[in-house]
Amino acid sequence: MTEISIAESRAVVVLGMHRSGTSVLTSGLGAVGVYLGDRLMPGKDDNPKGFFEDLDLTAINLDLLAQLGCRWDSLRLADWRDLDTELQQQYLKRAVEVVEHRFAGISLWGFKDPRVTRLMSFWDSVLALRGCRPVFVVANRHPLSVAASLARRDGMALAYALLLWLLHQAEALRIVLDRGGLVVSYDGLMECPREQLLRLARFLGQESVLDMVRLAEFEREFLDETLRHSAFRRDGCDLEFDALGRMCKRLYLHLETWAAVEQPAHILQAEARDMLESLKQWLVDHASMIDVIDCSMRQSIQMRSEQIGLARDSALVLAERDRLKRQSREFEQWCERLWCELREWQNQAEMVVHQSGELRLRVCQAESRALRLALMQR
């Protein structure tokens, strides 16, 4: 565990794969005194307790990935430094402004977005410009649990989910190996939250200011066994079904070992380096397969997008058809009312003509009587 000076401005960066417990871990950081900001993403059906992600920082990650032609679930990720210099500066300026506005004057703050795990070079530049020291905390969860969660939420295939897990967790291990950090087991946090939060507090130098009331609230209000929709073997034996599963098992168990110690021993660090080299070679050996899978996923996403677009266009056409039908019915009703009013005016006109004829007849009769009277008087 890396020693940290309390006097300097520190940004706790939560690393780890999507659906790996990064949200519950970030909530735990808040419980030990890490400031998370005041614009956090609210909970949804797939994460009812909340995501604990800063809305503006996450928006930057989303836009940056889109600029690179990637998504959160892309296997191949372009380097943000390949963008032209002007675009790079625009994104850096935007991120620095958000950090300054949100966290200025805060000595210990943190942020979480699983996308950061693979965009850390960008955020290193942002934090350097802001004069903040990054401190890394990694969430580790059984890869099959992550895959099951992604299957429920996104319908993601098992092999694709495991590849994504492998890429994210390997990058997280590389970062803490090179720069120090703390690994937290999702299962360990769910089973012994107080122990894991105290471990976090020690790592961050927060023991003396730890609020036990907030810690108790975290245990009572956030942690919920119903959040654990799946449970798999902690020894990883259920990953022994193919080469990808075995590679995931090796990395998962290695990170669980990191999560069980305060200070990783040299032998553990040496094992991490060997594993990362093995993984790097494995990815090279399977590069063609990964490219095909990534390309297929992109095409599938594009097809789904086009289908959504067609469905939206179809919905617009149907809505326009319904609108025209309503207008046609309204016009027919208006014509019917107009016809009725016309018939009424015609009836009234005929009545006026009839009454006018009767009046002329009476006038003629009155004139005749007046003439006869005049003749009789002579």
* Among 18-27, 328-337, 357-366, the range of highest mean pLDDT: 18-27
Which has the closest alpha carbon to 195: 50, 32, 49, 34?
A: 32
- Angle in degrees, CA 146, 142, 273, rounded to 5: 115
- Angle in degrees, CA 95, 96, 98, rounded to 5: 65
pLDDT 10s digits, 103-156:
999 999 999 999 999 999 999 999 999 999 999 999 999 999 999 999 998 889
Q: Using CA atoms, how far apart are residues 367 and 271, in angstroms rounded to an integer? A: 131
Cβ proximity of 112 and 123 under 8 Å? no
At 19 the three-state DSSP class reads coil
- Cβ neighbours for 13, distance < 8 A, ≥ 6 positions apart: 110, 111, 112, 116, 120, 123, 134, 135, 136, 137
- Angle in degrees, CA 100, 106, 109, rounded to 5: 90
Residue 318 pLDDT exceeds 90:
no
pLDDT 10s digits, 174-217:
999 999 999 999 999 998 899 999 999 999 999 888 888 888 88
The mean predicted confidence, pLDDT, of the chain is 86
pLDDT at 1: 45
Q: Using CA atoms, how far apart are residues 80 and 123, in angstroms rounded to an integer? A: 11
**Integer-rounded Cα radius of gyration of the chain:** 37
CATH of 10-285, one of 1.20.120, 3.30.70, 3.40.50, 3.40.190: 3.40.50
Confidence of residue 345 (pLDDT cuts 50, 70, 90): confident
At 242 the three-state DSSP class reads coil
* Among 46-60, 239-253, 255-269, 319-333, the range of highest mean pLDDT: 239-253
Q: What is the mean pLDDT of residues 164-175?
A: 96
The runs of H, that is alpha helices, within the chain are 22-31, 55-67, 85-103, 120-130, 143-154, 158-179, 186-191, 193-204, 212-217, 243-258, 266-285, 287-377
pLDDT at 78: 85
pLDDT at 226: 56
pLDDT at 2: 42
Residue 3 pLDDT exceeds 50:
no
Which has the closest alpha carbon to 115: 186, 14, 28?
A: 14
Q: Using CA atoms, how far apart are residues 256 and 215, in angstroms rounded to an integer? A: 23
pLDDT at 222: 60
Tokens at residue 121, please?
């070079």
Domain boundaries, the chain: 10-285, 288-378
pTM of the complete model: 0.76
pLDDT at 7: 43
- Quick one: what percent of the chain has pLDDT higher than 70? 89
Q: Using CA atoms, how far apart are residues 228 and 158, in angstroms rounded to an integer? A: 18
Main-chain phi, psi angles of 142, to 5 degrees: -55, 130
pLDDT at 227: 55
Confidence of residue 247 (pLDDT cuts 50, 70, 90): very high
Give the H or E element holding residue 138. strand 133-140
In whole angstroms, how far apart are CA 126 and each of 60, 87, 100, 265? 12, 14, 10, 31
Q: Using CA atoms, how far apart are residues 37 and 106, in angstroms rounded to an integer? A: 10
pLDDT at 307: 65
Q: Using CA atoms, how far apart are residues 161 and 165, in angstroms rounded to an integer? A: 6
Residue 321 pLDDT exceeds 90:
no
Residue 47 pLDDT exceeds 80:
no
Which has the closest alpha carbon to 22: 44, 62, 45, 49?
A: 49
Q: Using CA atoms, how far apart are residues 158 and 59, in angstroms rounded to an integer? A: 28
* 40 Rama class: left (phi>0) / alpha (psi -120 to 50) / beta: beta
Q: What is the mean pLDDT of residues 265-279?
A: 91
Residue 308 pLDDT exceeds 70:
no
